[in-house]
Amino acid sequence: MKISTRGRYSTRLLLQLALNYGKGPTLLKDISKIQDISQKYLNQLIMPLKVAGLVSSTRGAHGGYLLGRPPEDIKVSEIITAMEGSINLVECINNPGICKRYEHCVAREIWEEVSKKCQAVLDSYTLKDLVQRHYQKQQ
Protein backbone atom coordinates (compact mmCIF):
# COMPACT_ATOMS: atom_id res chain seq x y z
CA MET A 1 0.00 0.00 0.00
CA LYS A 2 1.31 3.40 -0.95
CA ILE A 3 -0.44 6.48 0.36
CA SER A 4 -0.67 9.08 -2.38
CA THR A 5 -0.21 12.82 -2.15
CA ARG A 6 -4.01 13.09 -1.87
CA GLY A 7 -4.00 11.02 1.31
CA ARG A 8 -0.99 12.74 2.85
CA TYR A 9 -2.10 16.28 2.02
CA SER A 10 -5.66 15.59 3.19
CA THR A 11 -4.25 14.45 6.52
CA ARG A 12 -2.27 17.69 6.77
CA LEU A 13 -5.34 19.74 5.81
CA LEU A 14 -7.41 18.06 8.53
CA LEU A 15 -4.57 18.39 11.03
CA GLN A 16 -4.63 22.14 10.45
CA LEU A 17 -8.39 22.22 10.98
CA ALA A 18 -7.88 20.19 14.16
CA LEU A 19 -5.24 22.65 15.38
CA ASN A 20 -7.82 25.41 14.90
CA TYR A 21 -10.70 23.39 16.36
CA GLY A 22 -13.00 25.54 18.46
CA LYS A 23 -11.58 28.79 17.06
CA GLY A 24 -13.97 29.17 14.14
CA PRO A 25 -13.71 28.49 10.41
CA THR A 26 -10.36 28.38 8.63
CA LEU A 27 -9.74 29.59 5.08
CA LEU A 28 -8.02 27.31 2.59
CA LYS A 29 -5.59 30.10 1.73
CA ASP A 30 -4.41 30.09 5.36
CA ILE A 31 -4.02 26.30 5.37
CA SER A 32 -2.15 26.60 2.09
CA LYS A 33 0.41 28.96 3.60
CA ILE A 34 0.87 27.09 6.85
CA GLN A 35 1.00 23.59 5.35
CA ASP A 36 2.83 24.60 2.15
CA ILE A 37 0.21 23.02 -0.12
CA SER A 38 -1.15 24.92 -3.12
CA GLN A 39 -4.62 26.34 -2.61
CA LYS A 40 -5.63 24.91 -5.97
CA TYR A 41 -4.77 21.41 -4.76
CA LEU A 42 -6.57 21.96 -1.44
CA ASN A 43 -9.68 22.93 -3.41
CA GLN A 44 -9.57 19.51 -5.08
CA LEU A 45 -9.21 17.70 -1.76
CA ILE A 46 -11.95 19.45 0.18
CA MET A 47 -14.99 18.01 -1.63
CA PRO A 48 -14.29 14.30 -0.94
CA LEU A 49 -13.60 15.23 2.68
CA LYS A 50 -16.94 17.03 2.87
CA VAL A 51 -18.75 14.07 1.28
CA ALA A 52 -17.15 11.79 3.90
CA GLY A 53 -18.41 14.10 6.68
CA LEU A 54 -14.89 14.94 7.83
CA VAL A 55 -15.20 18.63 6.91
CA SER A 56 -18.00 21.16 6.93
CA SER A 57 -18.08 24.67 5.53
CA THR A 58 -19.63 27.97 6.38
CA ARG A 59 -20.28 30.83 3.97
CA GLY A 60 -20.02 34.52 4.37
CA ALA A 61 -17.50 37.08 5.54
CA HIS A 62 -16.36 34.88 8.42
CA GLY A 63 -16.74 31.61 6.52
CA GLY A 64 -14.32 28.83 5.89
CA TYR A 65 -13.87 25.20 6.80
CA LEU A 66 -14.33 23.32 10.05
CA LEU A 67 -13.92 19.72 11.13
CA GLY A 68 -17.10 17.74 10.64
CA ARG A 69 -16.62 16.10 14.05
CA PRO A 70 -14.35 16.64 17.05
CA PRO A 71 -10.67 15.70 16.46
CA GLU A 72 -10.90 12.77 18.87
CA ASP A 73 -13.71 11.29 16.74
CA ILE A 74 -11.87 11.31 13.41
CA LYS A 75 -9.55 8.38 12.79
CA VAL A 76 -6.64 8.65 10.39
CA SER A 77 -8.05 5.56 8.66
CA GLU A 78 -11.18 7.55 7.75
CA ILE A 79 -9.11 10.22 6.05
CA ILE A 80 -7.08 7.72 4.06
CA THR A 81 -10.16 5.71 3.07
CA ALA A 82 -12.01 8.87 1.97
CA MET A 83 -9.13 9.83 -0.31
CA GLU A 84 -7.61 6.50 -1.34
CA GLY A 85 -10.42 3.98 -1.08
CA SER A 86 -9.87 0.62 0.56
CA ILE A 87 -6.70 0.15 2.59
CA ASN A 88 -6.33 -3.44 1.32
CA LEU A 89 -3.08 -4.25 -0.47
CA VAL A 90 -4.73 -6.31 -3.21
CA GLU A 91 -8.10 -6.09 -4.89
CA CYS A 92 -9.08 -9.71 -4.28
CA ILE A 93 -9.46 -9.11 -0.54
CA ASN A 94 -12.54 -6.97 -1.17
CA ASN A 95 -13.58 -8.70 -4.35
CA PRO A 96 -12.82 -12.44 -4.26
CA GLY A 97 -14.69 -13.00 -7.51
CA ILE A 98 -11.92 -11.41 -9.56
CA CYS A 99 -9.50 -14.26 -8.87
CA LYS A 100 -10.15 -17.91 -9.52
CA ARG A 101 -7.31 -18.81 -7.14
CA TYR A 102 -8.85 -16.96 -4.19
CA GLU A 103 -9.79 -20.09 -2.19
CA HIS A 104 -6.33 -21.67 -2.47
CA CYS A 105 -4.02 -18.65 -2.58
CA VAL A 106 -1.63 -18.63 0.36
CA ALA A 107 -0.15 -15.28 -0.70
CA ARG A 108 -3.58 -13.66 -0.39
CA GLU A 109 -3.66 -14.69 3.25
CA ILE A 110 -0.44 -12.74 3.85
CA TRP A 111 -1.72 -9.68 1.95
CA GLU A 112 -4.91 -9.83 3.97
CA GLU A 113 -2.99 -10.01 7.26
CA VAL A 114 -0.82 -7.04 6.29
CA SER A 115 -3.91 -5.09 5.21
CA LYS A 116 -5.63 -5.76 8.52
CA LYS A 117 -2.58 -4.62 10.46
CA CYS A 118 -2.31 -1.43 8.39
CA GLN A 119 -6.00 -0.79 9.03
CA ALA A 120 -5.53 -1.40 12.76
CA VAL A 121 -2.63 1.07 12.98
CA LEU A 122 -4.53 3.77 11.06
CA ASP A 123 -7.62 3.08 13.21
CA SER A 124 -5.56 3.55 16.37
CA TYR A 125 -4.75 7.23 15.65
CA THR A 126 -7.13 10.17 15.66
CA LEU A 127 -6.66 13.79 14.69
CA LYS A 128 -6.40 14.55 18.40
CA ASP A 129 -3.35 12.26 18.54
CA LEU A 130 -1.81 14.13 15.60
CA VAL A 131 -2.46 17.47 17.30
CA GLN A 132 -0.71 16.21 20.44
CA ARG A 133 2.27 15.00 18.39
CA HIS A 134 2.38 18.34 16.60
CA TYR A 135 2.65 20.24 19.88
CA GLN A 136 5.27 17.81 21.22
CA LYS A 137 7.44 18.50 18.18
CA GLN A 138 7.07 22.24 18.76
CA GLN A 139 8.75 22.01 22.18
CB–CB of 65/32 below 8 Å? no
Q: In the chain, what is the greatest distance between 2 CA atoms, to the nearest angstrom?
A: 60
Residues 87-111, mean pLDDT to the nearest whole number: 76
The predicted structure's pLDDT at residue 51: 96
The predicted structure's pLDDT at residue 130: 97
pTM exceeds 0.85 for this model? yes
Q: Chain-wide mean pLDDT for the chain?
A: 91
Residue 125, pLDDT > 80, answer yes
The predicted structure's pLDDT at residue 36: 95
Residue 50 sits in which domain range?
A: 5-138
- In a 3-state reduction of DSSP, which class is residue 56? strand
Domain count, the chain: 1
CATH number at residue 44: 1.10.10.10
Residue 106, pLDDT > 90, answer no
